[in-house]
Amino acid sequence: MGTDDIEFCGVILNRSDEEIRQIAHEYKQRHHHTLLSIIEREFSGHVRRCLLYVVEGALNRVERDAQQINAALTGDGAKEERLAYRLIRVHWMGQPYMQSVKQAFSETYNHSLHAKVQAHVFGELEKLLLALVEGR
């Protein structure tokens, strides 16, 4: 039947992480598809990326942040501005959260976050980003 895009976005964007987790659980129970798979199928472009960011963050923020950091380190050269933004956000969440993201990154991508940053960023920015990663 399709999706009422505005209604769907309103439901997702006006809910807490806990409510989104409950919605995702109930959706899977009733429809045998994940909320993420529906977003992938029904939306595109910026709206898809926004909804995925919000729902992935509600379902597992640590993994989402590790994935976002990896995306900034992948491709033709590091996307330095995006990488800095991501690492600063994780740093602001506190050292225990940074440790969780570093562990998830290492387990998922088989490299330490420190080594990946060191391999892709140089100069003063490298020093700054490594200081964030190491909690200095």
CATH number at residue 82: 1.10.220.10
Q: Domain range holding 28?
A: 5-134
pTM assigned to the model: 0.79
Q: For residue 132, give both structure tokens.
A: 């964030």
pLDDT tens per residue, range 5-46 = 888 899 999 999 999 999 999 999 999 999 999 999 999 999
CB contact at 8 A, 25 and 58? no
92-48-32-62 Cα dihedral, nearest 10 degrees: -10
Contacts of 134 (CB under 8 A, 6+ apart): 114
CA 11 vs CA 32, 83, 101, 113: distances in Å: 20, 30, 28, 35
What is the count of structural domains for the chain? 1
